Amino acid sequence: MAAFPYPTNEEDRLVALQSYDLLDTAEEKDFDAIASIASVICQTPISLITFIDENRQWFKSHIGTDLKENSRELSFCAHTIASSQDIMIVPDASLDPRFANNPVVTTANITFYAGVPLINEDGFALGTICVLDQKTHDLTNEQIEALKALAVQVVDKIELRRKVKALEGANQELINSNVLIQKFASMAAHDIKNPLSSILLTSQALKIRHEKLQDEGCIRLVEMNINSTKSLLGLVDEMLAYSKSPSLLIAKKQRFDLNTMLKRVIGLLTVPDNVTIQLPESGKEIYLSMIAFEQIMINLISNAIRYNDKEIGTIKIRFTDDQEYYRFEVEDNGIGIPLEYHEKVFGNNFTLKITDRYNQKGSGIGLSTVRDLITVLNGTITLRSEITIGTTFIFTLQK
């Protein structure tokens, strides 16, 4: 056999072939129909629609043979895709030095071969449509043109399949994005209640105090109002921006100081006097989607506050990292979560049906959205918990 040929663009060709997800798929009537037409037109007992990967020639359709693949080294079609010809015809393979000693010829007695490369819209020869016979054969010009036309039909069909698959993938991404944004908007709207409550309470206190006397406490309450309002406006602006372009939620990364961000989050929450929050070691800078991280921490810290029944409540936030991931822990000494619910709490709309310290029940949105955000950020979240002892949420985020 002659030296085995490879296309000059072989590496890129293999990448292109894989993008169609054709190899090892089931037989399909449409492809079989095209192969059958090729066999009838060319008056040959065997016709194939083949795709050639690194080591083999795989048959998407095989008329006149039960074989489903062949070694690439024994393949006539490997020569077809490596040539610059629009059709390769071998009238008598036993007389062709490339194939005379090929087992396909000496054992299977294949004598005649004609193959047209299946060239995609990017110019890569992915495989062939070919016809074979165990006797010498010739093709008329009309048969040659018909075989080329059938090759175009095969390429059109696989291109259409790939485009449909890409559209389906894009549609699924859009659906996932919309679901994520809906959850995000619901959770963010819920989180807005915290600074709003702070504004309401401080405004009421300010009014009462201002009616009775003028002192520096009024100034402090006014500052609290201003800060809470600014935080609220910032959150609303971010929600509007991300609602117009959902991809920004994940794609827009920023570098920020971890403890500064955590203090900002804590400032949005109502922290009772009997609850202390321990922050990680200062000076840690991270690079993440700021709004996504903020929403994750708002929810976890808020839950740690709400479901804490201890006389002295403690929340500990820990941080470590390595070359690939940031790792966080949010530990509390609250009521704990039963073991059988450790996975269920991340489900959509799942709640434990218990009331928090403010006599409110959860919506089931928060932890589900947290998990979705962390998943999109290529991270994971788990928890450890014991009833009456407390809960620790552990999550990672890819750098």
- Residues 223-272: tens digit of each pLDDT: 777 677 666 666 666 666 655 565 666 667 889 999 999 998 998 788 99
DSSP letter for each residue of 251-315: H-EEEEEHHHHHHHHHHTS---TTEEEE---S--EEEEEHHHHHHHHHHHHHHHHHT--SSSEEE
* Average confidence score pLDDT of the chain: 86
Averaged over 381-388, what is the pLDDT? Answer: 95
Q: What residue ranges define each of the domains in the chain, with the CATH number in brackets?
A: 10-139 (3.30.450.40), 170-398 (3.30.565.10)
Averaged over 315-325, what is the pLDDT? Answer: 96
Spell 100-121 as b/e; 16+ CB within 10 A means b.
eebebbeebebbbbbbbbbbbe
User: Residue 55: which H helix or E strand, with range?
Assistant: none
Q: Is the per-residue pLDDT at 188 higher than 80?
A: no
The whole-number pLDDT of residue 364 equals 54
pTM value is 0.50
**Three-class DSSP category at 218:** helix
The whole-number pLDDT of residue 187 equals 63
Residue that wins the pLDDT comparison between 376 and 245: 376
Per-residue CA distances from 141 to 42, 132, 379 (Å): 11, 17, 60
CB 308 within 8 A of CB 324: no
d(CA 131, CA 395): 58
The whole-number pLDDT of residue 1 equals 44
pLDDT tens digits for range 286-316:
999 888 898 899 999 999 999 999 999 999 9
